[in-house]
Amino acid sequence: MSRRGGVCVFAEYERDLHEQAEVIVVGSGPCGAVVARELAEAGRDVLLIEEGPPFTPADFALDGALSMARTMREAGLRATRGHVMPTMQAIALGGGSLVNSAICVRPPAFVFDGWADGFELAHTSRADLDPHFDAVEAFLGIAKTPDAVQGRRNLLFREGCEKLGISCEPIARNVRGCRGSGECFTGCRARAKQSMDISYVPAAIRAGARVYTSVRVEQVRCQGRRASGVTGRVVAPFSGRPGPAFHATAKAVVLAAGCMATPLLLLTSGELANRSGQVGRNLQFHPGVAVMGVFPERVDPQFGATQGMQSLHFLREGLKLETLWAPPAVLAVRLPGAGLALKERLAEIPYASIVDAIASCHRSLGTVRPRRAGSLEPLLHWRLHPDDLPVLGRALEVIVAVLFAAGARKVLPGVHGIPDELGPGDVDRLRGRSFRAGDFVMAANHAFCSTRMHGDPAQGVVDEWGRCHELDNLYVSDTGVFPRCTSVNPMLTGMALAHRTAKALQDRL
């Protein structure tokens, strides 16, 4: 590929590749794409390496399960052990931004104050990061979801919140020209979502970055305190069938492979940056629970922004509420029953509005380890801490109350141990009720902290600018560097930190 920027795809690889650059960025998700674009814009010679392929609108599968099989690692069936919980990570140019709902939220100051107090971080306050948030928001044109594309499903949530005096707001998203197709999770056919593959990555290419897709980085090479490059292999889209070898050298390496893959790369590259023993530890999630309310009138929930409204009202309690739409088959997982009873419930989906809560479970910790020695497949272990359980119970109670306030005639909580259907008079039955972890059907796609930043090199993997404490030119830029969960959707925070990392690296090159 020429040094003027461009993209390489699987069909072009015929022989082993040897590349050189000033900076190698591993992973093209929201963080890696920001680093690549910022450094390329600054005139640096950047190599961006992505294991997944680029998707065009023709490549999107509308069938939810087939879409997950194509865009997600382990076909979307990855789950934690310990407490079994599904967690999805994307494998595509643009990473998770291709198949997330584009939610962009700045965490409130108290989140960063908690980071500073608990992890000896003197330069990571909300005020420190605001310029970086500003830069990312301006580039992506992040804006609040307009009412025109909210759809009835999202507006019902607002009505419910207003009746109960709960603050709520339209969700800010990296979207331009949304048509309310509700297809964020299977890829935006309207090309409205500014996922990294159509925003930051093309901008990086225009600035001269070279992008290699369908290349899996398997090892980071080091000499003394310096990373010298990476080695890997071309892999076929979807099948992962290995192809020619890939070698690249650079002055600096940025690992942005995600909270699951980055620690594995460090561990399988000879326990890199792990004198603290923290690589692959402290894994945190935002477990989510979703509840469906059934309304007397037709809602047609498939129309409208996938996630258009949110409430930060209970954030200090550890709860963020959001509206939700997903492929119907995915939503149906939470419906009770089987047989004709299940079919009756399916027929109620057009009358439904779904609300979910993500919970800040920072006491519930897990680990990421290689499945086998040298493997890049993660073995995830995570347990819900008993002290975090009441947060989920509270989430259920609040969501049910909001749905009934909005006019739902019944609610299907999808929680073991309480009735399959709740009526308006049942809200009080949930108040203060205790649950067990296994009662909830949870999922968690926000994952953090597996290579956490910490001011003390003995307790963390990277410093505040993302540089590994033990190596002069190896950086980590993904949600793994968060010292604790963000309490809100993590993409924007990851991108702001990536923006800061890029600026720091630019100054040090």
Partner 1 sequence: MRSLGYVADVPIETAPIVLLLLAFGWRLFGGYPRPPAALLRLSRREVSFVAAAAEALFPRGGAVPASGLDAGVPLWIDRWLDALPAGTRRLVRLLFGLVEQATLVFPAPGWNGWRRFSALDLAQRGRVLEGWRTSRWFVRRLVFTSLRAIVTQGYFADAGVLRALGLAPRAIEAPVTSADALYPPIGRPKAAILFAAHEVRVHGPLDRPPAGEPLGVSGPLHPAYREEAR
Q: Please, which of residues 143-202 interact with partner 1 by CB under 8 A?
A: 148-149, 151, 176-181, 183, 189-192, 194, 197-199, 201-202
Interacting residues with partner 1 between 229 and 268 (CB under 8 A): 237-238, 240
Q: Which of residues 382-401 bind partner 1 (CB under 8 A)?
A: none
**And the tokens for 101?**
């709902």
Task: Indicate the DSSP class of residue 273.
Answer: T
Nearer to partner 1, 53 or 483 (CB): 53
Buried b or exposed e, range 85-104, using 16+ CB within 10 angstroms:
bebbbbbbbbbbbbbbbbbb
Written as six digits, the tokens of 307 are: 């996630």
The stretch among 124-132, 346-354, 397-405, 472-480 that binds partner 1 (CB under 8 A) is: 346-354
Q: Is 139 in the site for partner 1 (CB under 8 A)?
A: yes
CB of 490 to partner 1, least distance (A): 22
If the CB atoms of residues 9 and 164 are measured against partner 1, the closer one turns out to be 9
Q: Is 266 helix (H, G, I), strand (E, B) or coil?
A: helix
11 touches partner 1 by CB under 8 A: yes
Burial label for 62, CB within 10 Å (0-12, 13-18, 19+), is: exposed
Which of residues 245, 303, 379, 381 is near partner 1 by CB under 8 A?
A: 303
Q: Which stretch binds partner 1 (CB under 8 A): 22-30, 111-119, 219-227, 340-348?
A: 340-348
509 binds partner 1 (CB under 8 A): no
Regarding 352 and contact with partner 1 (CB under 8 A), the answer is no
Total residues binding partner 1 (CB under 8 A): 78
Nearer to partner 1, 443 or 485 (CB): 443
313 Cβ contact list (under 8 Å, min separation 6): 161, 166, 167, 168, 321
The least distance separating partner 1 from the CB of residue 462, rounded to whole angstroms, comes to 29
- Is 224 a residue that touches partner 1 (CB under 8 A)? no
Determine if 57 is a binding residue for partner 1 (CB under 8 A).
yes
* Residue 336 CB burial class (10 angstroms; 0-12, 13-18, ≥19): middle
Q: Which of 17, 48, 55, 443 binds partner 1 (CB under 8 A)?
A: 55
CB 185 within 8 A of CB 156: no
Question: In the set 339, 373, 434, 507, which binds partner 1 (CB under 8 A)?
Answer: 339
Cβ distance to partner 1 smaller for residue 436 or 508: 436
DSSP 98-149: GTS--B--PPPHHHHHHHHHHHT-SS-SHHHHHHHHHHHHHHHT-EEPPGGG
Binding of partner 1 at residue 470 (CB under 8 A)? no
SS3 of 182, please? coil
Question: Any residues with CB less than 8 A from the CB of 340 and at least 6 apart, and which?
Answer: none
Q: Please identify which residue in 350, 390, 424, 455 interacts with partner 1, judged by CB under 8 A.
A: 350
Half-sphere exposure (Cβ direction) of 451: Cα atoms closer than 13 Å? 35
